[in-house]
Amino acid sequence: MTTSDFGRAIRTWRDRIGPGAAGLPAYGHRRAAGLRREELALLAGISVDYVTRLEQGRATQPSVQVVEALARGLRLTGNEREHLFRLAGLVPPGSGLIPGHLTPSIQRLLDRLAGTPVAVCDLLWTMVTWNPPWAALMGEPGPAHNTIRRHFLDHDPGRVVRTPEQTASFESEMVGDLRTALSRYPDDPRGPRMVAELRAGSARFADLWDSGVLGVHVAFRKIIDHPAAGLIELDCDVLSAAGTDLRLIAYTAEPGSEAAEKLALVTVLGTQTLTS
């Protein structure tokens, strides 16, 4: 396969999906129903110039991360995603690796939860994607954001407020969760590398790992300290997406409560910031 085949495939798939199906507003007069290059660039988190060069065959070696992001932005099925990897001259991630592909059905779910902060993580707690309400509530995650690394290596709790007891429980659950992920996907080299990195950089992680602690990080209440809305107590649910091993993390509030009012305010403030 050649780079021109890769570019033609991107253009073909870009033409077939409209902004509405991709969770984007359709602004202005459109000559075609498909996504514009700048819209695909926004969805994939890459520059418009890079999308243009890929389509024209002038960029010849897209990385695994770029191809994965394009597949996600184009809402490709599993077979289409594998084909895009092969067109790029890359081996599609195998069945022995921890899944990170966002299926079209999960993406549609995120698109419809426009008022609910939702993020998707893989089994290593690396962020795959998130919606605008999540960014408004929790802050915009950085590239390759990983919750476990952020806590144990960066010592950064983000906007979550925890008591010492809650912190200890959170740490045990995350370490136990990571152990379970490695046992389910022993052939994925990212897991052992991550454990080695965490053991070297965090005595607390090393102690927990060596203790053999087991645990599952699921649902509980969290207090978020938002810079504009103050403290917000919310329900946090961690849901498993059947057939993908991805996790959906959602924050909700009791309808009519003060927390619901604050959450609505945060969403509006975040939307205004993103628009500006």
Domain co-membership, 167 together with 134: yes
Q: Give the pLDDT score at 122.
A: 92
Of 32, 61, 87, which closes a domain?
A: 87
Q: Which domain range does residue 12 map to?
A: 3-87
Domain co-membership, 149 together with 83: no
Q: Could you tell me if residue 75 is inside a domain?
A: yes
Cα Rg of the chain, angstroms: 20
Whole-number mean pLDDT of the chain?
Answer: 86
Q: How far apart, in whole angstroms, are the C-alpha atoms of residue 84 and residue 68? A: 9
Which range has highest mean pLDDT (101-105, 120-124, 182-186, 239-243)? 120-124
Token pair 């962020």 is found at 127
Q: How far apart, in whole angstroms, are the C-alpha atoms of residue 236 and residue 251? A: 5
Give the domain CATH number at 226.
3.30.450.180
pTM attached to this predicted model:
0.71
Q: How far is CA 174 from CA 56, 131, 149, 198, 218, in A?
A: 44, 23, 10, 12, 10
- Asked if the model's pLDDT at residue 242 lies above 80, the reply is no
Q: Encode pLDDT of 251-272 as tens digits.
A: 999 999 999 999 999 988 875 5
Domain co-membership, 262 together with 144: yes
Binning pLDDT at 50, 70 and 90, where does residue 150 land? very high
